[in-house]
Amino acid sequence: MVVAGGGPTGLMLAGELALAGVDVAIVERRSSQDLIGSRAGGLHARTIEIFDQRGIADRFLSQGQVAQVAGFAWIRLDISDFPTRHNYGLALWQNQIERILAGWVGELGVPIYRGRDVRGFAQDDAGVDIEISDGESLRAHYLVGCDGGRSLIRKAAGIEFPGWDPTTSHLIAEVELAEEPEWGLRRDALGIHSLSRVEDGPVRVMVTEQRLGRTGEPTLRDLSEALVAVYGTDYGIHSPTWISRFTDTTRQAAAYRDGRVLLAGDAAHVHYPVGGQGLNTGVQDAANLG
Ligand SMILES: Cc1cc2nc3c(=O)[nH]c(=O)nc-3n(C[C@H](O)[C@H](O)[C@H](O)COP(=O)(O)OP(=O)(O)OC[C@H]3O[C@@H](n4cnc5c(N)ncnc54)[C@H](O)[C@@H]3O)c2cc1C
Q: What is the pLDDT of residues 14-55, one digit of tens each?
A: 999 999 999 999 999 999 877 776 678 899 999 999 999 999
CA proximity to 86, closest of 104, 107, 60: 60
CA proximity to 118, closest of 146, 99, 98: 146
Indicate whether residue 9 lines ligand 1 (CB < 6 A): yes
**Residue that finishes a domain, picked among 33, 61, 91:** 91
Which residue CA neighbors atom 38 of ligand 1 most closely? Answer: 147
Ligand 1 atom at shortest distance from the alpha carbon of 10: 25
Range of weakest confidence among 39-43, 163-167, 203-207, 257-261 = 39-43
Same domain, 103 and 223: no
Ligand 1 atom at shortest distance from the alpha carbon of 275: 8
Same domain, 274 and 220: no
Question: 155: domain CATH number?
Answer: 3.50.50.60
Indicate whether residue 8 lines ligand 1 (CB < 6 A): yes
Ligand 1 atom at shortest distance from the alpha carbon of 264: 26
- Tally Cβ neighbours within 10 Å of residue 10: 29
Question: Distance (Å, rounded) from C-alpha 254 to C-alpha 239?
Answer: 41
Indicate whether residue 225 lines ligand 1 (CB < 6 A): no
Ligand 1 centroid vs 158 CA: distance in angstroms?
A: 21
Same domain, 224 and 204: yes
Same domain, 185 and 79: no
CA proximity to 87, closest of 69, 107, 106: 69
Helices vs. strands in the chain: H and E counts, helices first: 7, 22
Task: For residue 24, give its domain range.
Answer: 2-41+93-161+250-289
Same domain, 73 and 123: no
Q: Where are the alpha helices (DSSP H) in 54-126?
A: 57-61, 94-107
What pLDDT digit, counting tens, does each position of 172-188 carry? 999 999 999 999 999 99
Question: 211: domain CATH number?
Answer: 3.30.70.2450
Question: Distance (Å, rounded) from C-alpha 231 to C-alpha 225?
Answer: 10
Indicate whether residue 206 lines ligand 1 (CB < 6 A): no
Same domain, 52 and 87: yes
- Tally Cβ neighbours within 10 Å of residue 136: 11
Residue 275 has pLDDT above 70, yes or no: no
Range of weakest confidence among 33-37, 160-164, 242-246, 253-257 = 33-37
- Mean per-residue pLDDT, 207-219: 88
Amino acid found at 23: D
Number of domains in the chain: 3
Same domain, 26 and 105: yes
Same domain, 107 and 171: no
State in Å, rounded, how far the first CA of the chain is from the last one: 11
Same domain, 215 and 80: no
Taking the CA atoms of the chain, what radius of gyration do you get in angstroms? 20
Ligand 1 atom at shortest distance from the alpha carbon of 153: 41
Same domain, 78 and 189: no
Same domain, 229 and 173: yes
- Average pLDDT over the chain reads 92
Pocket mutation for ligand 1, best pick of 16, 29, 113, 247 (most atoms within 8 Å of C-beta)? 29
pLDDT band at 63 (very low <50, low <70, confident <90, very high): very high
Amino acid found at 243: I
Residue 276 has pLDDT above 60, yes or no: no
Ligand 1 centroid vs 15 CA: distance in angstroms?
A: 17
Same domain, 97 and 116: yes
pLDDT of residue 235: 98
What pLDDT digit, counting tens, does each position of 123-146 carry? 999 999 999 998 899 999 999 999
